[in-house]
Amino acid sequence: MLQIRHTPVLVAAVVLFASACGAEDPELGTENQPTVVVTTNILGDVVTNLTGGTVKVVEIMPVGADPHDFRASARQADAMRSADALIVNGAGFEEGLLDVIEGAEIDGVAVFEAIGAVTPIALGDDGHDDHDAYENHNGHEQEGIDPHFFTDPARMAVAVHAIADFLIDEIDEIDAVAVKSAAEAYQAELEALDEEIANLIALIPQARRVLVTNHEVFGYFAERYGFDVVGAIIPGGSTTDGASAGALAALAETIRGAGVTVIFADVSSPTDLAQTLATEVGDIEVVTLYSESLGEANSDGATYLDMIRANAERIAAALAS
Protein backbone atom coordinates (compact mmCIF):
# COMPACT_ATOMS: atom_id res chain seq x y z
CA MET A 1 0.00 0.00 0.00
CA LEU A 2 1.20 3.47 -0.80
CA GLN A 3 1.90 5.77 2.05
CA ILE A 4 -0.55 8.58 1.76
CA ARG A 5 0.47 11.96 3.09
CA HIS A 6 -2.00 14.46 1.66
CA THR A 7 -4.73 12.33 3.07
CA PRO A 8 -8.29 13.07 1.94
CA VAL A 9 -7.82 14.52 -1.53
CA LEU A 10 -5.06 12.17 -2.62
CA VAL A 11 -6.95 9.13 -1.36
CA ALA A 12 -9.86 10.20 -3.52
CA ALA A 13 -7.55 10.60 -6.51
CA VAL A 14 -5.92 7.24 -5.94
CA VAL A 15 -9.26 5.48 -5.62
CA LEU A 16 -10.54 7.11 -8.79
CA PHE A 17 -7.39 6.26 -10.68
CA ALA A 18 -7.34 2.68 -9.44
CA SER A 19 -10.95 2.10 -10.40
CA ALA A 20 -10.34 3.59 -13.85
CA CYS A 21 -7.16 1.74 -14.71
CA GLY A 22 -7.06 -1.39 -12.58
CA ALA A 23 -5.08 -2.04 -9.42
CA GLU A 24 -2.35 -3.92 -11.29
CA ASP A 25 -1.22 -0.70 -12.93
CA PRO A 26 2.53 -0.27 -12.33
CA GLU A 27 2.00 3.37 -11.35
CA LEU A 28 0.02 2.25 -8.32
CA GLY A 29 0.28 -1.50 -8.05
CA THR A 30 2.23 -3.69 -5.72
CA GLU A 31 5.47 -1.69 -6.10
CA ASN A 32 6.10 0.38 -3.03
CA GLN A 33 8.59 2.62 -4.80
CA PRO A 34 7.37 6.23 -4.74
CA THR A 35 6.78 7.84 -8.12
CA VAL A 36 8.10 11.27 -9.05
CA VAL A 37 6.67 12.56 -12.30
CA VAL A 38 8.69 15.16 -14.21
CA THR A 39 7.26 17.05 -17.18
CA THR A 40 10.39 17.68 -19.29
CA ASN A 41 13.07 15.14 -20.20
CA ILE A 42 15.75 17.68 -19.23
CA LEU A 43 14.51 17.92 -15.65
CA GLY A 44 13.81 14.18 -15.77
CA ASP A 45 17.52 13.53 -16.32
CA VAL A 46 18.44 15.94 -13.52
CA VAL A 47 16.00 14.33 -11.08
CA THR A 48 17.25 10.86 -12.01
CA ASN A 49 20.76 12.01 -11.13
CA LEU A 50 19.55 13.07 -7.69
CA THR A 51 17.50 10.02 -6.78
CA GLY A 52 19.82 7.23 -7.87
CA GLY A 53 17.06 4.68 -8.41
CA THR A 54 15.46 5.10 -4.97
CA VAL A 55 12.28 6.47 -6.52
CA LYS A 56 10.64 5.79 -9.84
CA VAL A 57 11.14 8.81 -12.12
CA VAL A 58 8.53 9.13 -14.88
CA GLU A 59 9.25 11.64 -17.67
CA ILE A 60 6.21 12.93 -19.53
CA MET A 61 7.85 14.46 -22.64
CA PRO A 62 9.76 12.12 -24.95
CA VAL A 63 13.05 13.10 -26.57
CA GLY A 64 12.46 15.64 -29.32
CA ALA A 65 9.12 16.86 -27.94
CA ASP A 66 8.36 20.57 -28.17
CA PRO A 67 7.66 21.43 -24.53
CA HIS A 68 5.60 24.49 -25.43
CA ASP A 69 2.86 22.60 -27.21
CA PHE A 70 3.24 19.04 -25.87
CA ARG A 71 -0.01 17.58 -24.61
CA ALA A 72 -0.28 14.64 -22.23
CA SER A 73 -2.10 11.44 -23.14
CA ALA A 74 -4.90 10.40 -20.80
CA ARG A 75 -2.56 7.89 -19.22
CA GLN A 76 0.17 10.52 -18.71
CA ALA A 77 -2.36 12.92 -17.21
CA ASP A 78 -3.38 10.15 -14.78
CA ALA A 79 0.27 9.57 -13.87
CA MET A 80 0.74 13.30 -13.16
CA ARG A 81 -2.39 13.46 -11.04
CA SER A 82 -1.51 10.37 -9.01
CA ALA A 83 2.20 11.11 -8.55
CA ASP A 84 3.83 11.22 -5.13
CA ALA A 85 5.44 14.43 -6.37
CA LEU A 86 5.35 16.39 -9.63
CA ILE A 87 8.27 18.50 -10.86
CA VAL A 88 7.72 21.03 -13.63
CA ASN A 89 9.82 23.71 -15.32
CA GLY A 90 7.21 26.44 -14.71
CA ALA A 91 6.71 30.06 -15.87
CA GLY A 92 4.33 28.84 -18.55
CA PHE A 93 6.95 26.66 -20.25
CA GLU A 94 4.64 23.64 -20.43
CA GLU A 95 1.80 25.53 -22.09
CA GLY A 96 -0.03 22.37 -23.16
CA LEU A 97 0.14 20.80 -19.70
CA LEU A 98 -1.07 23.69 -17.56
CA ASP A 99 -4.56 22.20 -17.05
CA VAL A 100 -3.17 18.84 -15.98
CA ILE A 101 -0.63 20.44 -13.64
CA GLU A 102 -3.41 22.48 -12.07
CA GLY A 103 -5.54 19.33 -11.79
CA ALA A 104 -2.72 17.50 -10.04
CA GLU A 105 -2.39 20.34 -7.55
CA ILE A 106 -6.13 20.28 -6.88
CA ASP A 107 -5.82 16.53 -6.28
CA GLY A 108 -3.25 17.27 -3.58
CA VAL A 109 -0.09 16.33 -5.47
CA ALA A 110 2.93 18.33 -4.32
CA VAL A 111 4.07 20.35 -7.35
CA PHE A 112 7.49 21.96 -7.60
CA GLU A 113 8.33 24.63 -10.18
CA ALA A 114 12.06 24.48 -10.85
CA ILE A 115 12.24 28.01 -12.20
CA GLY A 116 11.01 29.28 -8.84
CA ALA A 117 14.38 28.29 -7.37
CA VAL A 118 16.43 30.61 -9.58
CA THR A 119 16.62 34.30 -10.37
CA PRO A 120 14.52 34.71 -13.50
CA ILE A 121 15.17 37.06 -16.41
CA ALA A 122 12.68 38.77 -18.67
CA LEU A 123 12.15 37.78 -22.25
CA GLY A 124 14.03 40.04 -24.62
CA ASP A 125 12.42 43.40 -25.12
CA ASP A 126 11.95 43.08 -28.85
CA GLY A 127 8.57 44.79 -29.19
CA HIS A 128 6.65 41.50 -29.13
CA ASP A 129 5.22 41.88 -25.66
CA ASP A 130 1.90 40.44 -26.79
CA HIS A 131 3.51 36.99 -26.78
CA ASP A 132 4.97 37.32 -23.35
CA ALA A 133 2.07 36.88 -20.96
CA TYR A 134 1.77 33.46 -19.42
CA GLU A 135 -0.59 32.21 -16.81
CA ASN A 136 1.01 29.63 -14.58
CA HIS A 137 -0.83 26.85 -12.83
CA ASN A 138 -1.45 29.00 -9.76
CA GLY A 139 -3.19 31.55 -11.90
CA HIS A 140 -0.51 34.17 -11.36
CA GLU A 141 0.39 35.91 -14.53
CA GLN A 142 4.09 35.65 -15.12
CA GLU A 143 4.40 38.36 -17.66
CA GLY A 144 7.56 38.30 -19.64
CA ILE A 145 9.49 35.74 -17.59
CA ASP A 146 11.80 33.69 -19.76
CA PRO A 147 11.16 30.05 -18.79
CA HIS A 148 14.37 28.60 -20.35
CA PHE A 149 16.54 28.81 -17.21
CA PHE A 150 18.10 25.41 -17.97
CA THR A 151 20.33 26.91 -20.68
CA ASP A 152 22.45 28.24 -17.79
CA PRO A 153 24.11 25.36 -15.90
CA ALA A 154 24.95 27.69 -13.00
CA ARG A 155 21.24 28.31 -12.43
CA MET A 156 20.59 24.59 -12.76
CA ALA A 157 23.11 24.02 -9.97
CA VAL A 158 20.95 26.20 -7.73
CA ALA A 159 17.75 24.46 -8.82
CA VAL A 160 19.29 21.06 -8.10
CA HIS A 161 19.47 21.76 -4.37
CA ALA A 162 15.93 23.11 -4.29
CA ILE A 163 14.71 19.98 -6.12
CA ALA A 164 16.60 17.79 -3.64
CA ASP A 165 15.02 19.61 -0.67
CA PHE A 166 11.57 19.27 -2.25
CA LEU A 167 12.03 15.52 -2.77
CA ILE A 168 13.24 15.05 0.79
CA ASP A 169 10.26 17.02 2.13
CA GLU A 170 7.65 15.27 0.04
CA ILE A 171 8.81 11.66 -0.24
CA ASP A 172 8.93 10.01 3.17
CA GLU A 173 10.68 6.89 1.89
CA ILE A 174 13.58 8.78 0.31
CA ASP A 175 17.14 8.52 1.65
CA ALA A 176 17.76 12.17 2.48
CA VAL A 177 21.51 11.74 3.02
CA ALA A 178 21.94 10.01 -0.34
CA VAL A 179 19.88 12.64 -2.17
CA LYS A 180 21.84 15.51 -0.58
CA SER A 181 25.11 13.85 -1.44
CA ALA A 182 23.96 13.22 -5.03
CA ALA A 183 22.92 16.88 -5.29
CA GLU A 184 26.37 18.00 -4.18
CA ALA A 185 28.09 15.67 -6.64
CA TYR A 186 25.86 16.85 -9.47
CA GLN A 187 26.40 20.48 -8.52
CA ALA A 188 30.15 19.89 -8.78
CA GLU A 189 29.67 18.47 -12.29
CA LEU A 190 27.57 21.47 -13.27
CA GLU A 191 30.17 23.90 -11.94
CA ALA A 192 32.93 22.09 -13.82
CA LEU A 193 30.81 22.30 -16.97
CA ASP A 194 30.17 26.00 -16.37
CA GLU A 195 33.94 26.60 -16.20
CA GLU A 196 34.53 24.46 -19.29
CA ILE A 197 31.96 26.51 -21.22
CA ALA A 198 33.45 29.81 -20.03
CA ASN A 199 36.83 28.64 -21.36
CA LEU A 200 35.29 27.69 -24.72
CA ILE A 201 33.45 31.00 -25.00
CA ALA A 202 36.64 32.90 -24.22
CA LEU A 203 37.84 31.77 -27.67
CA ILE A 204 35.07 33.80 -29.34
CA PRO A 205 35.88 37.47 -29.98
CA GLN A 206 33.43 39.72 -28.10
CA ALA A 207 32.08 41.23 -31.32
CA ARG A 208 31.07 37.77 -32.54
CA ARG A 209 29.18 36.79 -29.40
CA VAL A 210 25.79 37.27 -31.02
CA LEU A 211 22.95 34.79 -31.23
CA VAL A 212 20.04 34.44 -33.61
CA THR A 213 17.95 31.49 -32.52
CA ASN A 214 14.74 29.61 -33.34
CA HIS A 215 12.79 31.41 -30.59
CA GLU A 216 13.98 33.21 -27.47
CA VAL A 217 15.47 30.11 -25.90
CA PHE A 218 19.09 31.06 -25.03
CA GLY A 219 18.50 34.19 -22.93
CA TYR A 220 19.95 32.66 -19.74
CA PHE A 221 22.92 31.21 -21.63
CA ALA A 222 23.48 34.64 -23.20
CA GLU A 223 23.35 36.40 -19.85
CA ARG A 224 25.72 33.89 -18.24
CA TYR A 225 28.38 33.90 -20.97
CA GLY A 226 28.13 37.45 -22.31
CA PHE A 227 26.23 37.01 -25.57
CA ASP A 228 23.87 39.41 -27.27
CA VAL A 229 20.64 37.85 -28.57
CA VAL A 230 20.00 39.99 -31.65
CA GLY A 231 16.89 38.18 -32.82
CA ALA A 232 14.71 35.10 -32.88
CA ILE A 233 12.96 33.58 -35.88
CA ILE A 234 9.82 33.02 -33.81
CA PRO A 235 9.40 36.12 -31.65
CA GLY A 236 8.91 35.61 -27.92
CA GLY A 237 9.59 32.82 -25.51
CA SER A 238 7.47 30.12 -27.09
CA THR A 239 7.33 28.18 -30.34
CA THR A 240 3.58 28.35 -30.67
CA ASP A 241 3.20 31.80 -32.18
CA GLY A 242 4.82 31.40 -35.59
CA ALA A 243 6.71 34.01 -37.57
CA SER A 244 5.30 36.47 -40.07
CA ALA A 245 6.93 37.24 -43.43
CA GLY A 246 7.28 40.85 -42.32
CA ALA A 247 9.01 39.88 -39.09
CA LEU A 248 11.41 37.59 -40.99
CA ALA A 249 12.27 40.36 -43.44
CA ALA A 250 12.96 42.69 -40.51
CA LEU A 251 15.11 40.02 -38.87
CA ALA A 252 17.08 39.58 -42.10
CA GLU A 253 17.84 43.30 -41.98
CA THR A 254 18.92 43.06 -38.33
CA ILE A 255 21.16 40.11 -39.13
CA ARG A 256 22.85 41.97 -41.99
CA GLY A 257 23.30 45.03 -39.79
CA ALA A 258 24.80 43.04 -36.91
CA GLY A 259 27.17 41.07 -39.16
CA VAL A 260 25.71 37.77 -37.95
CA THR A 261 27.19 34.72 -39.69
CA VAL A 262 25.30 31.88 -38.01
CA ILE A 263 21.66 31.13 -37.26
CA PHE A 264 21.12 28.62 -34.47
CA ALA A 265 18.16 26.32 -35.07
CA ASP A 266 16.79 23.46 -33.01
CA VAL A 267 17.88 19.84 -33.45
CA SER A 268 14.33 18.56 -33.05
CA SER A 269 12.41 21.21 -35.00
CA PRO A 270 12.21 21.76 -38.75
CA THR A 271 14.94 24.15 -39.94
CA ASP A 272 12.98 25.44 -42.96
CA LEU A 273 12.49 28.94 -41.56
CA ALA A 274 16.15 29.21 -40.54
CA GLN A 275 17.19 28.04 -44.01
CA THR A 276 14.82 30.53 -45.66
CA LEU A 277 16.28 33.30 -43.54
CA ALA A 278 19.84 32.16 -44.31
CA THR A 279 19.09 32.18 -48.04
CA GLU A 280 17.48 35.61 -47.72
CA VAL A 281 20.54 37.07 -46.00
CA GLY A 282 23.11 35.01 -47.90
CA ASP A 283 26.41 33.56 -46.68
CA ILE A 284 24.94 32.39 -43.40
CA GLU A 285 25.42 29.04 -41.74
CA VAL A 286 22.60 27.19 -39.98
CA VAL A 287 23.76 25.24 -36.91
CA THR A 288 21.39 23.12 -34.83
CA LEU A 289 21.44 23.09 -31.02
CA TYR A 290 19.64 21.08 -28.35
CA SER A 291 17.30 23.88 -27.35
CA GLU A 292 14.77 22.35 -25.02
CA SER A 293 14.89 18.58 -25.24
CA LEU A 294 17.62 16.06 -24.69
CA GLY A 295 18.98 14.40 -27.81
CA GLU A 296 18.54 10.73 -28.72
CA ALA A 297 20.21 8.14 -26.47
CA ASN A 298 23.37 7.78 -28.55
CA SER A 299 23.72 11.44 -29.49
CA ASP A 300 26.05 14.03 -27.96
CA GLY A 301 22.99 15.50 -26.23
CA ALA A 302 21.82 12.35 -24.46
CA THR A 303 21.99 13.87 -20.97
CA TYR A 304 21.53 17.37 -19.62
CA LEU A 305 25.28 17.78 -19.07
CA ASP A 306 25.93 16.44 -22.60
CA MET A 307 23.41 18.73 -24.28
CA ILE A 308 24.71 21.87 -22.60
CA ARG A 309 28.31 20.94 -23.45
CA ALA A 310 27.42 20.04 -27.06
CA ASN A 311 25.63 23.37 -27.51
CA ALA A 312 28.58 25.35 -26.18
CA GLU A 313 30.98 23.39 -28.40
CA ARG A 314 28.83 24.01 -31.49
CA ILE A 315 28.44 27.71 -30.68
CA ALA A 316 32.19 28.08 -30.09
CA ALA A 317 33.05 26.14 -33.28
CA ALA A 318 30.69 28.33 -35.31
CA LEU A 319 31.71 31.70 -33.90
CA ALA A 320 35.37 31.41 -32.83
CA SER A 321 37.38 32.10 -35.93
Residues that bind Zn ion (CB under 5 A): 217, 292
Q: How far is the CB of 266 from Zn ion (least distance, A)?
A: 9
Q: Which is nearer to Zn ion, 10 or 156 (CB)?
A: 156
DSSP 283: S
Q: Which is nearer to Zn ion, 134 or 166 (CB)?
A: 134
Q: Which is nearer to Zn ion, 107 or 292 (CB)?
A: 292
Q: Which is nearer to Zn ion, 217 or 274 (CB)?
A: 217
Query: Quick one: 244 exposed, middle or buried, by C-beta within 10 A (0-12, 13-18, 19+)?
Result: exposed
Q: How far is the CB of 261 from Zn ion (least distance, A)?
A: 23
Q: How far is the CB of 68 from Zn ion (least distance, A)?
A: 6
Helical ranges in 202-287 per DSSP H: 219-225, 245-258, 272-281
Q: Which is nearer to Zn ion, 70 or 186 (CB)?
A: 70
Query: Quick one: 155 exposed, middle or buried, by C-beta within 10 A (0-12, 13-18, 19+)?
Result: buried
Q: Which is nearer to Zn ion, 59 or 95 (CB)?
A: 95
Closest CA to 289 of 214, 190, 237: 214
Q: How far is the CB of 238 from Zn ion (least distance, A)?
A: 6
User: How far is CA 138 from each of CA 9, 141, 238, rounded to the nearest angstrom?
Assistant: 18, 9, 20
Q: How far is the CB of 215 from Zn ion (least distance, A)?
A: 5
- The closest residue (CB) to Zn ion is 217
Q: How far is the CB of 306 from Zn ion (least distance, A)?
A: 19
Distance between CA atoms of residues 321 and 8, nearest Å: 62
**Cβ–Cβ under 8 Å, residues 147 and 115:** yes
Query: Quick one: 321 exposed, middle or buried, by C-beta within 10 A (0-12, 13-18, 19+)?
Result: exposed
DSSP 130: G
Number of neighbouring beta carbons within 10 Å of residue 288: 17
Q: Which is nearer to Zn ion, 42 or 77 (CB)?
A: 42
Q: How far is the CB of 48 from Zn ion (least distance, A)?
A: 22
% helix, strand, coil for the chain, step of 5: 45, 10, 40
